[in-house]
Amino acid sequence: MTDKKIIPMSDDIATPARRPLTLRDVSEASGVSEMTVSRVLRNRGDVSVATREKVLKAAKTLGYVPNKIAGALASSRVNLVAVIIPSMSNMVFPEVMTGISEVLDDTPLQPVVGVTNYLPEKEEEVLFEMLSWRPSGVIIAGLEHSDASRAMLQAAGVPVVEIMDVDGEPIDAVVGISHRRAGREMARAIVKSGYQNIGFLGTKMPLDHRARKRFEGFTEALAKEGIEVMDQEFYSGGSALAKGREMTEAMLKRSEDLDFLYYSNDMIGAGGLLYCLDAGINVPSDLGLAGFNGVELLDGLPRKLATMDSGRKEIGREAARIIAGRTDGSITESGQRIELTPKLEPGETLRRYR
């Protein structure tokens, strides 16, 4: 085998399709008009089985991927739903997304996520960016938005669902829980269980309006019982579990009389719980603990933390249902309001609850 044939590698073969394929390519390959090709590819209108198959075959062999940009411009229909949330890394929004996806998966709609990091300016940016894609609807966390953001949402001319929170004035539809009420109910449950000296531990987040509202509801309900929060501390950054641990230790050391700690989220609550167990503190008889959110992630802790389920998945589902319904015309009204009930989960860190 001395004389091997040398086959030059053509660039055209090595590098596939520089120019993305268009309908026209499929049209030419199948000998069917662009319009009919378009019909086949979208399952619109009547097309004979014969041509349909010709087209499908051509599209497949060419590897045609339709250009939604052009389609959207021509039809002024964009099957995207903008979902704007403050953060992706805590446990709550992934669950909301799950709920949204569950519902949208049965529709032509697709969620697109934007993250604001709890910053109003960033929210404006993200919103502007997303609206410039002309989505079919917007799902946005919270009721507090800058004037500019509210104006954009109003002018967008598409359904807007504000989620998570119902304490405030919605722009259009709203799905969530009352965080004020959640705070109040937790306060009542704690007092009912016989605790009196209550500490609060939370995130240092002036822009986390929902945490703030819970705290307000909490202190308000305590005030009605003549109780004041005995000690409080706020953190920012770092691992929530570790922070919960540290803050709990610090607080218990400086305020020895505390018999209950209310955490603004389950993760720091879990950290606190782990600290208490390590330190040999008797939970819940000497010290009660409660968090917020009801994150499944934490099932498996030595003791189940008392918490209040915020119904995140359900919120996502309901919001998506509203968008889907109003997009496909099955819902014609606007401004719907769905208030879910936060559910107390007493767990094992709340003494003789009831």
Partner DNA sequence: ATGAAAGCGCTAACAC
Partner DNA sequence: GTGTTAGCGCTTTCAT
Residues making contact with a copy of itself (CB under 8 A): 16-21, 63, 65-70, 72-73, 78, 88-89, 94-95, 97-98, 101, 110, 112-113, 115, 128-129, 131-134, 151-152, 154-157, 238-245, 267, 271, 274, 277-278, 296-302
Our finding on whether 57 is near DNA (CB under 7 A) is no
Edge to edge, what strands does the sheet with 173-177 contain?
Answer: 110-115, 80-85, 137-141, 160-165, 173-177, 337-339
* DSSP-based helix, strand, coil % in the chain, nearest 5: 45, 15, 40
Our finding on whether 73 is near DNA (CB under 7 A) is yes
User: Is residue 216 within 8 Å of residue 264, measured between CB atoms?
Assistant: no
Our finding on whether 24 is near DNA (CB under 7 A) is yes
Whole-angstrom distance, CA of residue 351 vs CA of residue 354:
9
Closer residue to DNA, CB minimum distance, 75 or 239: 75
* Helix 209-224, helix 179-192: angle, nearest 10: 40
Closer residue to a copy of itself, CB minimum distance, 115 or 230: 115
Tokens, residue 94:
């992934």
Closer residue to a copy of itself, CB minimum distance, 100 or 187: 100
Place of tokens 């501390």: 233
| Partner from DNA, a copy of itself, none binding residue 23, C-beta < 5-8 Å depending on class | DNA
Our finding on whether 75 is near DNA (CB under 7 A) is yes
| Partner from a copy of itself, DNA, none binding residue 112, C-beta < 5-8 Å depending on class | a copy of itself
User: Is residue 163 within 8 Å of residue 319, measured between CB atoms?
Assistant: yes
171: Cβ contacts below 8 Å, ≥ 6 apart: 145, 150, 153, 154, 160, 162
Scanning residues 257 to 296, which ones bind DNA (CB under 7 A)? none
**Which of 250, 249, 277 has the alpha carbon at shortest distance from 348?**
277
Beta strands in 228-333 (DSSP E): 231-235, 260-263, 288-290, 307-309
Closer residue to a copy of itself, CB minimum distance, 244 or 288: 244
Within the chain, what is the greatest distance between any pair of CA atoms? 100
- Judged by CB under 7 A, the stretch of 6-14, 31-39, 200-208, 311-319 that binds DNA is 31-39
Closer residue to DNA, CB minimum distance, 47 or 340: 47
- Judged by CB under 7 A, the stretch of 19-27, 97-105, 183-191, 280-288 that binds DNA is 19-27
CB of 176 to DNA, least distance (A): 33
Tokens, residue 180:
């004020």
Our finding on whether 136 is near DNA (CB under 7 A) is no
DSSP 218: H
Binding residues (CB under 7 A) for DNA: these are: 19-24, 32-36, 38-39, 41-42, 44-48, 50-52, 66-67, 70-71, 73-77
